[in-house]
């Protein structure tokens, strides 16, 4: 206690020659109070954590058990199908965005959550998907459904091409290379004026239609997105519970051990990165068709971080978890729009509390979803 006061005194003495006695005194008081309160905050946080964790675990166990009830998925589906009848356009718009991000988060979850490869440039694949559709339309006039397979194919291919050199690296180094890749793609889009129209972006991209039935309206686009979210969920889940998914998990847990079980670790990491970027291609095309406009601004590093946050918040490796994570991280800033500049602060505090009380994420944790 005395030590803290002395540190505060010393720091404020440093300021004495510059700011005068009055300011230094104020600084001294502020510093000593904050030091001491931080000390107490630390201890009380620790005890709070100890008392809170068991009850938090109980509540979660119940919540997750409810989530895993057999019929619950149909209830969720029914609610999601009925939403456009109750929501105003603004909320529906946000829901569509949530869906696109849910696809992205599920895709990144394959790479980060299942296989344990930290990819900080995921947004690059999102951008490639979006720009492929935009350019195919703007240059050759291809429609959405023709472009979609090409978008997905090209994105998967670029995921594959990136991974070949990157897989010589592990852990943090891979993260840095992927971060670099993300920036390279954004800079190319920004500077290749003749092809991508640079920072001005490409506009006038049409929404898809099915058999001459346009899907441009919010209501209809919502259902299209919902379809793709469910498709993504189903495919990723089935892969997760096959030998491929198990091999990914094994690589995440212990690479050397996985290889002594007969898993070709390099190949499976390649699969994971390609399969993960596939969904970014899908989401990119959907995003371009939704916004009817793409520009490099939408694909900054912060987007990668946001998608990664969804995966971490929802629970690394847990599929329902990352969907919930996408929902929270897209909805929360909108809900907090009232308090404007404090919303990022609230988000930050939320993430920190998350790390303190539930580091494995909302729905994550050992054995999450492994019961099938």
What is the footprint of another protein within residues 252-281 (CB under 8 A)? 253-254, 256-265
Q: Between 182 and 317, whose beta carbon lies closer to another protein?
A: 317
CB of 247 to another protein, least distance (A): 6
Only one of the segments 76-84, 183-191, 237-245, 323-331 lies at the binding site for another protein (rule: CB under 8 A); that segment is 237-245
In the bound complex, what is the minimum distance in angstroms from residue 104's beta carbon to another protein? 20
Is the separation of the CB atoms in 109 and 316 below 8 Å? yes
Of 171-179, 236-244, 283-291, 301-309, which segment contacts another protein by CB under 8 A? Answer: 236-244
Q: Where are the alpha helices (DSSP H) in the chain?
A: 2-67, 72-82, 89-108, 122-135, 144-166, 171-191, 193-196, 218-240, 243-253, 255-260, 265-291, 301-314, 319-335, 343-357
Contacts of 348 (CB under 8 A, 6+ apart): none
With vertex at residue 54, the alpha carbon angle to CA 52 and CA 57, rounded to the nearest 5 degrees, is: 105
CA distance 135 to 142: 9
244 touches another protein by CB under 8 A: yes
CA proximity to 143, closest of 206, 95, 89: 206
Binding letters toward another protein, positions 115-134, x by CB under 8 A = --------------------
Contact 48, 64 (CB under 8 A): no
Closer residue to another protein, CB minimum distance, 182 or 321? 321
Q: To the nearest whole angstrom, how small is the minimum distance from the Cβ of residue 251 to another protein?
A: 9
Measure CA 249 to chain center. 19
Binding of another protein by 249 (CB under 8 A): yes
230 binding another protein? (CB under 8 A): no
The residue (of 2 and 256) whose beta carbon lies closer to another protein is 256
Contact status: 54 vs another protein (CB under 8 A): no
* Rounded least distance, CB 280 to another protein, Å: 19
- 247 near another protein, rule: CB under 8 A: yes
Task: Give the integer Cα–Cα distance in Å for 193 and 188.
Answer: 9
246 contacts another protein (rule: CB under 8 A): yes
Asked if 68 touches another protein (CB under 8 A), the answer is no
Chain-centre distance of CA 34, in angstroms? 35
Q: Tell me if 285 sits within 8 A of 129, measured CB to CB.
A: yes
CB proximity list for 73: less than 8 A, separation 6 or greater: none
Instruction: Report the nearest approach of another protein to the CB of residue 348 (Å).
Output: 27
Q: Which sign does the torsion angle of CA 148, 154, 158, 159 carry?
A: positive
The 316-345 site mask, x for binding another protein (CB under 8 A), equals -x----------------------------
Q: How far is the CB of 264 from another protein (least distance, A)?
A: 5
Q: Determine, following the binding rule CB under 8 A, whether residue 168 of this chain makes contact with another protein.
A: no
d(CA 350, CA 6): 33
Closest CA to 205 of 148, 276, 268: 148
**How many residues form the binding site for another protein (CB under 8 A)?**
27
| 367 binds another protein, rule: CB under 8 A | yes
Based on CB atoms, which residue is closest to another protein, 89 or 370? 370
> Applying CB under 8 A, which residues contact another protein?
235, 238-239, 242-244, 246-247, 249-250, 253-254, 256-265, 317, 366-367, 370-371
């Amino acid at each position: 206690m005395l030590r803290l006061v002395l540190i505060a005194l010393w720091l404020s003495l440093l300021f004495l020659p510059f700011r005068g006695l009055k300011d230094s005194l104020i600084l001294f008081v502020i510093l000593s109070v904050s030091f001491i309160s931080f000390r107490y905050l630390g201890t009380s946080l620790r005890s709070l954590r100890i008392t809170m964790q068991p009850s938090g675990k109980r509540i979660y166990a119940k919540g997750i058990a409810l989530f895993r009830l057999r019929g619950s998925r149909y209830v969720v589906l029914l609610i999601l199908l009925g939403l456009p009848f109750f929501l105003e356009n603004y909320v529906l718009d946000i829901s569509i965005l949530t869906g696109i991000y849910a696809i992205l988060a599920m895709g990144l979850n394959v790479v980060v959550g299942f296989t344990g490869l930290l990819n900080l440039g995921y947004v690059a694949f999102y951008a490639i998907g979006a720009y492929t559709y935009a350019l195919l339309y703007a240059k050759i006039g291809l429609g959405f459904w023709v472009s979609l397979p090409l978008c997905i194919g090209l994105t998967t291919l670029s995921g594959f091409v990136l991974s070949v050199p990157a897989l010589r690296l592990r852990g943090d180094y891979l993260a840095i290379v992927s971060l670099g890749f993300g920036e390279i793609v954004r800079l190319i889009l920004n500077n290749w004026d003749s092809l991508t129209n640079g920072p001005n972006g490409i506009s006038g991209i049409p929404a898809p239609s099915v058999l001459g039935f346009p899907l441009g309206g919010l209501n209809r686009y919502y259902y299209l997105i919902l379809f793709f979210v469910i498709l993504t969920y189903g495919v990723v889940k089935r892969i997760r519970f096959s030998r491929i998914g198990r091999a990914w998990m094994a690589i995440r847990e212990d690479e050397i051990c996985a290889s002594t079980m007969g898993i070709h670790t390099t190949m499976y990491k390649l699969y994971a990165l390609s399969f993960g970027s596939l969904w970014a291609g899908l989401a990119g095309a959907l995003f371009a068709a939704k916004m009817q406009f793409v520009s490099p601004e939408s694909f900054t590093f912060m987007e990668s971080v946001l998608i990664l946050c969804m995966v971490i918040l929802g629970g690394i490796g847990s599929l329902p978890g990352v969907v919930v994570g996408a929902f929270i991280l897209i909805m929360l800033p909108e809900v907090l729009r009232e308090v404007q500049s404090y919303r990022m602060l609230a988000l930050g505090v939320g993430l920190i509390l998350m790390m303190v009380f539930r580091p494995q994420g909302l729905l994550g944790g050992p054995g999450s979803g492994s019961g099938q």
